[in-house]
């Protein structure tokens, strides 16, 4: 089991540099940076239970190596022990809409080398290969605005239940997708305030299935 104190101490060093803080960085500063209530953070500390999802989101947003933070592993170490890790492409500038159309201008990505045991803990039965942000509230409460969603591009069969990323003429969407008996494609929101959208098959390209998410608390 990873030691809570050693990982949090590293985060304090990073926050000290980021905040240009001369004094000591406290647990409350780390809790605030991770978006966790101080009482919840204190409970996690007493149980030596790391907030993996919040740490992963923090590292992705600040371009910090999760492998260095958790395992003290440099890039060359990842090459030597590549069988222990899985690479997920993270597109920080691409946002799929969970509300309205969102066009994507930049498509540069960074590689997240994630320990397979950690990924299995987060996503027990799936192996994602991409990760993007979502914006909007139409998939709440299932997916929150600002979350990072993990995508399995190898799963595009919309005859099975699930949430998918779809590319349309109006942009990139995260929706429940259903193929109707008449052949039309229905994009369904979990938020009942939004009505389903109906498109023809040639107006929709399935990017992949959403297999997990990291929520911004």
Contacts of residues 71-77 at CB distance under 8 Å and 24 or more positions apart, as own/partner, are 71/115
Q: Are strands 85-97 and 130-135 parallel, antiparallel or unpaired?
A: parallel
Query: Homologous superfamily of 81-217 in CATH?
Result: Umud Fragment, subunit A (2.10.109.10)
Average pLDDT, the chain: 80
- Using one digit for the tens of pLDDT, what is the confidence trace for 59-108? 877 778 777 787 766 655 444 445 566 777 777 666 676 665 544 444 56
Is residue 188 very low, low, confident or very high in pLDDT (cuts 50, 70, 90)? very high
Q: pLDDT tens, 124-164?
A: 666 787 888 888 899 999 998 888 888 988 889 998 878 99
| Class of the domain covering 1-72 | mainly alpha
d(CA 142, CA 130) in angstroms, rounded, equals 19
Q: Is 157 exposed, middle or buried (0-12, 13-18, 19+ CB in 10 A)?
A: exposed
Reported as half-sphere exposure (CB side, CA atoms, 13 A), residue 26 has a value of: 4
Cα(41)–Cα(12) distance, integer angstroms? 14
User: SS3 for 27?
Assistant: helix
Phi, psi of 111 (to 5 degrees): -90, 125
The pLDDT tens digits of the residues spanning 31-41 come to: 999 999 999 99
Q: Parse the chain into domains and list their residue ranges.
A: 1-72, 81-217
Q: How many Cβ atoms from other residues are within 10 Å of residue 49's Cβ?
A: 12
Model confidence, pTM: 0.58
């Amino acid at each position: 089991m990873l030691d809570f104190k050693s990982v949090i101490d590293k985060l304090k060093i990073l926050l000290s540099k980021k905040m240009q803080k001369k004094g000591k960085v406290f647990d409350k500063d780390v809790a605030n940076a991770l978006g966790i209530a101080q009482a919840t953070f204190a409970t996690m500390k007493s149980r030596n239970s790391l907030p993996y999802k919040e740490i992963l989101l923090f590292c992705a947003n600040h371009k910090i190596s999760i492998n260095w933070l958790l395992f003290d592993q440099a890039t060359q170490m990842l090459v030597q022990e590549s069988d222990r890790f899985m690479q997920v492409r993270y597109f920080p500038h691409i946002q799929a809409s969970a509300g309205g159309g969102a066009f994507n201008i930049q498509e540069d990505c960074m590689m997240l080398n994630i320990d397979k045991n950690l990924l299995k803990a987060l996503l027990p039965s799936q192996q994602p290969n991409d990760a993007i942000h979502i914006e909007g509230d139409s998939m709440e409460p299932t997916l929150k605005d600002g979350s990072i969603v993990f995508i399995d591009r190898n799963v595009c069969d919309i005859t099975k239940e699930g949430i998918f990323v779809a590319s349309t003429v109006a942009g990139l969407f995260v929706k429940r997708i259903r193929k109707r008996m008449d052949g039309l494609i229905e994009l369904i929101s979990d938020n009942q305030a939004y009505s389903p959208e109906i498109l023809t098959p040639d107006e929709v390209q399935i990017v992949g299935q959403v297999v997990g998410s990291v929520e911004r608390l």
